[in-house]
Amino acid sequence: MSLLITSITITTPQLQDMLGFYRIIGFQFAAAKVDKGSEIYRAYHNGVEFSLYKTINAQKSQVPGLQLGFMVTDLDGTVEKLKAIPSVTCILDPTDMPDGKKAIMIDPDGHAIELSEKQ
């Protein structure tokens, strides 16, 4: 199977408490360089990037606080099929990025899903 689970990101209004919890479990976080005002901490375990992202806007905390990333073999084809589901939204069409081709979809439950292409 070529599918890979690549990332789990949790958005939280209480970053310090969440960092404390996951550090005890064993995650070794490093602060990620992000836009001014944002705070993201990342850790890597068995090939999965686990991130905690601080919610800046209280209103945004209503959005499901989970983003997942997957690596697939045929990004364009996968995105076309996903777009055919009525409850799915594409917020970024397949786009070449410095670190590879990516797309972002919103799944039927409202979670942001980042898809990247296996090279």
Burial of 57 per CB tally in 10 Å (0-12, 13-18, 19+):
exposed
For residue 13, with 0-12 CB atoms within 10 Å meaning exposed, 13-18 middle and 19 or more buried, which class applies? middle
Task: Note whether 18 binds a copy of itself by CB under 8 A.
Answer: yes
Minimum Å gap between C-beta 10 and a copy of itself is: 7
Closest CA relative to residue 67, chosen from 101, 33, 102: 102
Cβ neighbour number for residue 106 with a 10 Å cutoff:
16
Instruction: Answer yes or no whether residue 116 interacts with a copy of itself by CB under 8 A.
Output: no
The neighbouring-strand residues paired with 45 are: 48
Binding of residue 21 to a copy of itself (CB under 8 A): yes
| Nearer to a copy of itself (CB atom), residue 26 or residue 98 | 26
Q: Which one-letter amino acid corresponds to residue 49?
A: E
- When the beta carbons of 32 and 65 are compared against a copy of itself, the nearer one is 65
Contact between 32 and a copy of itself by CB under 8 A: the answer reads no
Total residues interacting with a copy of itself, rule: CB under 8 A: 45
27 phi and psi angles, rounded to 5 deg? -70, 135
Residues near a copy of itself, by CB under 8 A: 1-5, 8, 10, 12-14, 17-18, 20-22, 24-28, 45-48, 50, 64-66, 68, 70, 72-73, 78, 81-82, 85, 87-88, 105, 107-109, 111, 113, 115
